[in-house]
Amino acid sequence: MKDFIKKLDMVSDNHNVPKEIRLEKFCDFIIKFFSTDSYKIGGFSPDIDIEKDKDYVELIAMWAEKVAKDMEQGCTADYMGRLYEQMYLLKSKASANGQFFTPESLCDLMARITEKDDAELNTTVVNDCACGSGRTLLAHFMKVTNEDRANAGRYYYDAADIDLFTCKMCACNMMIHGMQGKVVCQDQLLLPTPTAIFYINEVRYPFPTTYYSIRVRYPKQEEEERKVKEGKA
């Protein structure tokens, strides 16, 4: 963990990114790197300068390798959540928002005791309306895929959180695990127009592939822009 944070700090220094937003900026780069726009143009997203951003690309490779090692051992690989805890948990933002993540061991236990086997189900939706970094959903995915890798396509993960940063972490976590689903940035009690919706791994299902993707929509921004256009019309 410390070696990755050191590398992240070095890359962030190269790009003049302030300490308090370094992990979020890394998530932003991952989301751009795996954007569905890349598949439309047959290359990297237009927002990425592959030469200028080479160090961020290397950081993605380092992150993916660490996640893969955890997954090979059948472990819940919430690397984003662990980084967040190390870098921000005791800082003002986490304390103000009450962001204290559920221990991974407890998430694993919850996944084991709540899953009901049903061979007749084709696709099951698994929901977490206060997802944080997605740790509970990751634990469920690892449980069902450790039992049978074919289960990966049987589950659709529907995540939500009020905080945009944690939604980005959850989206990145779900994507790198090969999960299908979406992450909605929205207050699940008041249900206003979502700030953002991240659609995860649409390119992998229903026909399994080795590709990963994140598609992002900003409904609140789209709504405001539409109102401005209607006002001008």
**What is the reported pLDDT for 233?**
47
Which among 103, 52, 96, 98 has a CA at the least distance from the CA of 82? 103
Which among 97, 92, 88 has a CA at the least distance from the CA of 164? 97
**What is the reported pLDDT for 196?**
97
Are 88 and 24 a contacting pair, CB within 8 Å?
Answer: no
Which of 16-30, 61-75, 99-113 shows the lowest per-residue confidence on average (mean pLDDT)? Answer: 99-113
Q: Which two tokens stand for residue 29?
A: 């780069």
Beta bridge mates, 182: 158, 199
Q: Convert the pLDDT of each residue in 177-216 to its tens digit.
A: 999 999 999 999 999 999 999 999 998 887 777 889 999 9
Q: Convert the pLDDT of each residue in 125-146 to its tens digit.
A: 899 999 999 999 999 999 888 8
* Mean pLDDT of all residues belonging to the chain: 85
**What is the reported pLDDT for 179?**
94
What pLDDT band is residue 42 in, cutting at 50, 70 and 90? Answer: low
Rounded to whole angstroms, how far apart are CA atoms 174 and 201? 8
**What is the reported pLDDT for 154?**
86
Three-state DSSP string of 179-213:
CEEEEEECCCCCCCCCCEEEEECCCCCCCCCCCCC
User: Which one has a higher pLDDT value, 175 or 102?
Assistant: 175
Which among 58, 70, 9 has a CA at the least distance from the CA of 33? 58
